[in-house]
Structure 1
Amino acid sequence: MRPDVVTFWHGPLDALRLTCLRSQVAAGHKVTVYSFDPLAGLPDGVGNAEAEAILPHSFSERLRPPQPDGSWRDWTILQFSDFFRMRLMAEKAGLWLDADVLLLRPVELDPAKPYFAWERPRQLGNSVLYLPPNDPIVTAFENLMKQDELTPDWLALRHRLTFMLRQLSGKSKRLSDIRVAIFGPAALTALARRGGELQHALPKQSFYAVHAEPKLFFEQTDFSALLADPQIIGLHISPKGRGGQRPIPGSLYAWATERFGLADLPSPGGGG
């Protein structure tokens, strides 16, 4: 099955993300970006849906208080999107792709089975994610969201100790403050291990071939082997603030913008 693609974004989209969304449409997927405010300049074939219907904006305040002007603080966007993708799984919305996943070929999956890949040794990535709505990972997140404290029962011992020390010292009473990815890849990995689902994980090369080495995407290099590798379905890119910069000639980014259409360079935002 070729699934619909869904993601979440908060703020304006930069050129890199627009290029990646175009690549997802070019691969033959229906693509929908959820947001709280309308997104201007979305590529043809990309829809925009109301995020409030999936996970209320007010949920963000359970992660951390907003700024005085109401805007979200530091890690809020990333952690909110960790919960948002699980809510989309519960709603049978489709395959989650981060907005900075460049698809090189269509994604085909079995809707009865999980779909994810190793990001690095012993840790799954959650930038590419599909789970059946009755999957135990989805259920675990749904149960977690019913708690006021948002303290997972799958939390690693080192994180429990860190959280306890922060509580005792008065530094924080929120688990969300101890680590930006506390509800992200590590949580997915722990739950997949607990549910015996690691067997479904695709190899790292399928989506994370350049994730840890963004220079392979942004700098001039010979990327022919990446494009020719049949194992690579897409590339999750870690832009490190470079999503709004113009591509360097001879880079994989320059190839992607030419292949999928060079976008204008709006200001960066945040999200999935």
Structure 2
Amino acid sequence: MRPDVVTFWHGPLDRLRLTCLRSQVAAGHKVTVYSFEPLAPLPDGVGNAEAEAVLPHAFAEKLRPTGADGVWRDWTTLQFSDFFRMQLMARSAGLWLDADVLLLKPVEIDPAKPYFAWERPRQLGNSVLYLPSGDPIVAAFGALMRQHELTPDWLALRHRLTFALRRLRGSKRLSDIRVAIYGPAALTALARRAGELHYALPRKSFYAVHAEPKLFFEPQDFSALTGDPDIIGFHVSPKGRGNQPPVAGSLYAWAAERFGMG
């Protein structure tokens, strides 16, 4: 089955994300970006839906504190999106793709089975994620969200020890100890507990350039990447380079031209 693609975004979309959204549409997916404020302009074929109905803006108050003016910091958005994607899974909304996932081909899933890939040798990525609504991982996040302090029962020993030390110094938020505490590490721990690690695709399926952004942004021979039949797409993770113009001879320049953003 070729699923609908869903994601969440807070703030303006940069050039790279717009290119990636175009690639998702070009692969034949219906794409919807959830947000609290209207997003414009969006590429043809990309819809915009109200995020408040999925997970209220006020939920962010349980996470890392916002700025003095109430504006979300980068880490607030990151942690909020970890919960938002699980809420979309509970609603059977579709396949989650981060807005910086560039697709080379359509994603096909079995709606009865989880869909994700290894990001690192011992850690799953959650930038590409599908879970059936009744999956134990979705249920675990649902139970967690009913807590006030958002302290999961699947924490690794090192995180439990770190949190215990922080609590002695007055911290009450688990979200303070690590920006991505509810992200890939949580998905990996829960997939292991549910016996679902065997569903994970190989790392190169989506994360071939994730840990080495120069493979995407700098000029080089990228034919081995675009010609590999086992690579479905790339999670780019631009880290501040999203609005920089593509450099000639780079994989980014190739993608920008291919998907109409050159």
Residues 102-149 of structure 1, C-alpha deviation per residue, up to 9 Å, x if partnerless? Answer: 000000000000000000101000000000000000000000000011
Residues 23-70 of structure 1, C-alpha deviation per residue, up to 9 Å, x if partnerless? Answer: 000000000000000001100000000000000000000113322222
Relative contact order (C-alpha < 8 Å, sep 6+): which is higher? Answer: 1
1:16-165 to structure 2, matched below 5 A, reads 16-165=16-165
Quote the Cα distance in structure 1 between the aligned partners of 2:74 and 2:208: 27
**Structure 2: runs of 5 or more not aligned:** none
SS at match of 2:78: helix
Moved over 4 A (4+): none
Residues 130-173 of structure 1, C-alpha deviation per residue, up to 9 Å, x if partnerless? Answer: 00000000000000000011000001111011001011022x21
Look up the match of 1:11.
11
8 A Cα contact 2:65 2:76, kept in partner: no
**Structure 1: runs of 5 or more not aligned:** 264-272
After TM superposition, the structure 1 stretch with the greater mean CA deviation from structure 2, 95-104 or 74-83, is 74-83
SS at match of 2:93: coil
SS at match of 2:52: helix
Look up the match of 2:174.
175
Residues 192-219 of structure 1, C-alpha deviation per residue, up to 9 Å, x if partnerless? Answer: 0000000100000100000000000000
The alpha carbon displacement at 1:75 in A equals 1.1
8 A Cα contact 2:89 2:133, kept in partner: yes
8 A Cα contact 2:116 2:129, kept in partner: yes
Q: Report the TM-score, using the length of structure 2 for normalisation.
A: 0.99
Superposed CA RMSD: 0.8
Quote the Cα distance in structure 2 between the aligned partners of 1:85 and 1:199: 21
Residues 221-270 of structure 1, C-alpha deviation per residue, up to 9 Å, x if partnerless? Answer: 1000101100000000021210100000000000000000116xxxxxxx
1:236-247 to structure 2, matched below 5 A, reads 236-247=235-246
The alpha carbon displacement at 1:73 in A equals 2.7
Quote the Cα distance in structure 2 between the aligned partners of 1:99 and 1:217: 16
Letter in 2 for 1:80: F
Change in Cα spacing, 1:126 to 1:57, as seen in structure 2 (3 Å) is: same
Residues 48-103 of structure 1, C-alpha deviation per residue, up to 9 Å, x if partnerless? Answer: 00000000000000113322222113411000000000000000000000000000
Letter in 1 for 2:260: G
Look up the match of 2:250.
251
Look up the match of 1:268.
none
The alpha carbon displacement at 1:184 in A equals 0.2
**Number of matched residues?**
262
Look up the match of 1:198.
197
Quote the Cα distance in structure 2 between the aligned partners of 1:145 and 1:38: 26
